[in-house]
Amino acid sequence: MILVLVEKDLAGDAVEVSLETLTFARSLSEAGGGVPIDAVVVGDVPPALRSELASYGVRGVHALTGPAFDAFAGAAWASGIETVLATTRSVVVTAAGTPRGGEVLAHVAARAGVPMAANVLSFGGLSPFVVTRQVVGGQALEEMQLAGRPAVFTVAGHAVEAAPAAAAGPAEVHEHSPEVAEADLVARVVSTDEPEPDLSGGLTSARVVVGAGRGAGSADGFADLLELADLLDAPLGVSRVVTSLGWRPHHEQVGQTGSRISPDLYIPCGISGAIQHWAGCSSAKAILAINTDADAPMVTRATHAVIGDLHEVVPAINAEIRRRRTG
Ligand SMILES: Cc1cc2nc3c(=O)[nH]c(=O)nc-3n(C[C@H](O)[C@H](O)[C@H](O)COP(=O)(O)OP(=O)(O)OC[C@H]3O[C@@H](n4cnc5c(N)ncnc54)[C@H](O)[C@@H]3O)c2cc1C
C-alpha cells in the first residue's frame, strides 16, 4: 500500500499540493502494478473530502481523531501514522513537501529507522527505489536510493499537475484515535493567526507570482507592481529587504525564511537573486526578471529578462495588458 498524508486547509478541503502528491502516488501505484493508495487525514473527513480523495484513486481514508490531534504537533501526527502503518502493509509513506509534511515525515522515518528524501520530483525505479530530488535550494538535482521499507519521502510542490483518476471507486473511512505519548505533544501549535489576505490565494500554490525587491525604492513604489499582480490575478512575493524595511508584510516574503514558491511564471522585479531568495523561487518553471543590472544573479539565472527601470518597464507591461484586453 502507498500511504499519503493529506493536509487540509482552514476550510477543511484538501490542499492542492496534497492532491498533486496523490497524483504522484498514482503513477507510483501504476508502475507497481496497481498498488492500492490510502490517505491519512488528521481530524474529520467530511463527505466532500471523502469523495474528492476517492476521485484521486484513494481506497481507504484513515482519520486520526482525538484531543491529541486537535492542534498540529509533528511528533503526534507521526505517532498516529505509525498506528496506521501497524495495521497496513505500506511500502511507501509520502506527503506534500510543505513545512508540516516535511516535519511529520522526518519523525515517521526516524521512528521507523529508515531514510527520508525531501522535495522529490520524480521516481526512477521501484526496486531499488530511486528518486530524484532538488537540493541546495533547487540549484542541483540528486538521485537517491531509498533503502529500507517503507520508503518515506515528500513531493516537491508542482512536481506534477493534480489530476483526478480516470476511473475511481468509493473510499472507506477508518477512524483511529490512538493514545499519544506526552513526549510527542511537547512541540505543538498553541495558537494560530490567520495571515492577512493576499491578492489571490496562497503564494505557495500560485501559478504566477509577481516579485518585488529593494528596486521598488520605497513603500510607495509598489503601485505598478500591485497593478501587475492584479492584472495577472497573481499574489505579490517580496524579498526580505522589503519586509525588513516594513514596506510589505512578512507573509509575502519569498525565500529561505519565507515561502517557497513553484509557479509556472515568476516575475521578480528589482530583486538581485541572493541565494536566500533563490532558495524560495528556484522551482519556478519560468522566470522573467526585470532589473537595471544585467549581471544580477536573478537576471543571469532567469529564462527571460528585461534590463531596465521597473518603474518604466512595469507600467509599460500593465498598459499593454490593458490595451490587449480592451482592444
Ligand atoms: C539567514 C538569512 C536568511 C535570509 N532569508 C531571506 C529570504 O527568505 N528571502 C529573501 O529575499 N532574502 C533573504 N535574506 C536576505 C538576502 O541575503 C538578500 O539580502 C535579499 O534577498 C536582497 O533583497 P533584494 O534583492 O530586494 O535587494 P538587493 O540585493 O539590494 O537587490 C536589489 C536589486 O534591485 C535592482 N534594482 C534597483 N533599482 C531598480 C529599479 N529601479 N528597477 C529595476 N531593478 C532595480 C538592483 O540592480 C538589484 O539587483 C536572508 C539573509 C540571511 C542572512
**pLDDT on residue 9:** 86
Q: Is 213 in the pocket of ligand 1 (CB under 6 A)?
A: yes
**Which neighbouring-strand residues pair with 63?**
41, 175
C-alpha cell at 276: 536566500
**pLDDT on residue 23:** 98
pLDDT tens for residues 235-265?
Answer: 999 999 999 999 999 889 999 888 889 899 9
**pLDDT on residue 258:** 85
CA dist., res. 287 & res. 209, Å (int): 10
pLDDT tens for residues 32-54?
Answer: 999 999 999 999 999 999 999 99
220: CA distance to ligand 1 center in Å?
18
Asked if residue 200 has pLDDT above 50, the reply is: no
Looking at residues 164-185, what average pLDDT do you find? 94
C-alpha cell at 158: 508542482
Asked if residue 128 has pLDDT above 80, the reply is: yes
Q: Is 237 in the pocket of ligand 1 (CB under 6 A)?
A: no
**pLDDT on residue 148:** 85
**pLDDT on residue 137:** 61
135: CA distance to ligand 1 center in Å?
21
Looking at residues 280-284, what average pLDDT do you find? 91
Split at pLDDT 50, 70, 90, the class of 204 is confident
77: CA distance to ligand 1 center in Å?
36
Split at pLDDT 50, 70, 90, the class of 327 is confident
Q: Report if pTM > 0.75.
A: no
pLDDT tens for residues 135-147?
Answer: 776 667 899 999 9
* Rounded (5°) CA angle 135-140-146: 50
**pLDDT on residue 139:** 67
CA dist., res. 243 & res. 314, Å (int): 21
Q: Which residue among 218, 277, 288 has the greatest number of ligand 1 atoms within 8 angstroms of its CB, and so is best to mutate? A: 277
300: CA distance to ligand 1 center in Å?
15
Q: Which of 21, 29, 7 is nearest to 103 (CA)?
A: 7
Split at pLDDT 50, 70, 90, the class of 176 is very high
**pLDDT on residue 199:** 40
142: CA distance to ligand 1 center in Å?
27
Q: Which of 110, 258, 265 is nearest to 184 (CA)?
A: 110
**Other CB atoms within 10 A of residue 93 CB:** 30
Q: What is the percentage of the chain residues whose pLDDT exceeds 90?
A: 80
Q: What is the percentage of the chain residues whose pLDDT exceeds 70?
A: 97
| 123 contacts 145 by C-beta, under 8 angstroms | no
CA dist., res. 220 & res. 223, Å (int): 7
- Nearest ligand 1 atom to the CA of 239 is 11
- Nearest ligand 1 atom to the CA of 238 is 11
pLDDT tens for residues 297-320?
Answer: 999 999 999 999 999 999 999 999
Q: Which residue among 228, 292, 307 has the greatest number of ligand 1 atoms within 8 angstroms of its CB, and so is best to mutate? A: 292
Q: Is 145 in the pocket of ligand 1 (CB under 6 A)?
A: no
Q: H/E/C letters for each residue in the chain?
A: CEEEEECECCCCCECHHHHHHHHHHHHHHHHCCCCCEEEEEECCCCHHHHHHHHHCCEEEEEEECCHHHCCCCHHHHHHHHHHHHHHCCCCEEEEECCHHHHHHHHHHHHHHCCCEEEEEEEEEEECCEEEEEEEHHHCEEEEEECCCCCEEEEECCCCCCCCCCCCCCCCEEEEECCCCCHHHHCCCCCCCCCCCCCCCCCCCCCCEEEEECHHHCCHHHHHHHHHHHHHCCCCEEECHHHHHCCCCCHHHEECCCCECCCCCEEEEECCCCCHHHHHHHCCCCEEEEEECCCCCHHHHHCCEEEECCHHHHHHHHHHHHHHHHHC
- Nearest ligand 1 atom to the CA of 213 is 26
Asked if residue 197 has pLDDT above 60, the reply is: no
Delineate the domains of the chain, giving CATH numbers in brackets.
Answer: 2-185 (3.40.50.620), 208-326 (3.40.50.1220)
Looking at residues 165-171, what average pLDDT do you find? 91
